[in-house]
Amino acid sequence: MRVLVAEDEGRVADAVARGLRREGMAVDVAGDGDRALFNARVHTYDVVVLDRDLPGTHGDEVCRVLNHERPHTKVLMLTAARSLDDVVEGLALGADDYLPKPFRFAELVARIHALARRNGEARAPILRWGDVELDSARREATRAGRPLDLSHKELGVLEVLMEAEGAVVSTERLIERVWDENVDPFTNTVRMVVMTLRRKLGEPQFVHTVKGAGYRV
């Protein structure tokens, strides 16, 4: 899952980003509304965590633009305001959910997962392909009932490949869905993660390379 955190309070943004990364999400951070719009137009996000009072382009306008240009991206609006009128106004702008500050991190994570499940086609909470199962919410995977000790990136790659149900997934698509904007697309990062994932999955081989195209299960 890829998330954009648009928050101008640096400590809050960094803390939220670190926490979401520990949950296995690929996270980009934007400190103002202009950067948030730029990122959202360049990358595809499952969820944008959007502070309403952003400098530059106001969070309300960012929400309107996302609703128009990126209708499949879900917006979770954050604000210090707590009144019912503020909630109604935020949702009327096109936000998909609304969370007042201060908030509990566990609630933020739960709401992000809930919004991601509403993004596009419904996704099964547990993915199954052959003898491999992946529980997206728990971030756990097994093969033939054997628990797999996978890193966040390995789980992310496996999730994207299993969601494709045997279709070929390009390296570029894996980078877009599993890594944040700081990854160097010209490195062999994806190949190395796939290599360790294959080793941990064991035999028979589960992840196959399609020469010149990408990978598939």
Q: Report the sign of the C-alpha dihedral through residues 155, 156, 162, 163, in that order.
A: positive
Q: Is the pLDDT of residue 97 over 80?
A: yes
pLDDT at 122 > cutoff 80: no
Q: For residue 1, what pLDDT is reported?
A: 85
The per-residue pLDDT for 176 is 87
pLDDT value of position 119:
61
The predicted pLDDT at position 61 comes to 94
Lowest mean pLDDT, pick from 52-56, 77-81, 83-87, 89-93? 83-87
Query: Do residues 8 and 31 make contact, with C-beta atoms less than 8 angstroms apart?
Result: yes
Place of tokens 């789980």: 155
Per-residue burial over 151-177, b = 16 or more CB atoms within 10 Å of its CB, e = otherwise: eebbbbbbbbbbbbeeeebebebbbbb
- What confidence score (pLDDT) does residue 125 get? 73
Structure tokens at 2: 């890829």
pLDDT at 32: 96
169-193 pLDDT, tens digit per residue, is 999 999 988 988 878 777 789 999 9
Q: What percent of the chain has pLDDT over 90?
A: 67
What number of residues does the chain have? 217
Higher pLDDT, 177 or 84: 177
Indicate if the pLDDT at residue 215 is higher than 90. Answer: yes
Helices (H), 51-188: 59-69, 84-92, 105-117, 152-163, 171-178
What class has domain 2-117? alpha beta
Res 84: pLDDT: 59
pLDDT of residue 209: 95
Using the predicted structure, report yes or no on whether residue 121 has a pLDDT greater than 60: no
Cis before 102? omega within 30? yes
Q: Which residue has the tokens 């994570």?
A: 109
pLDDT value of residue 81: 63
Domain ranges of the chain: 2-117, 126-216
pLDDT band at 86 (very low <50, low <70, confident <90, very high): low
Nearest Cα to Cα of residue 36 among 72, 60, 19: 60
Give whole-number Cα distances, 79 to 46, 101, 136, in Å.
Answer: 20, 6, 28
**126-216 — its CATH code?**
1.10.10.10
pLDDT of residue 183: 80
Q: pLDDT tens digit string along 18-61?
A: 999 988 889 999 999 999 999 999 998 999 999 988 999 999 99
Q: What percent of the chain has pLDDT over 70?
A: 93
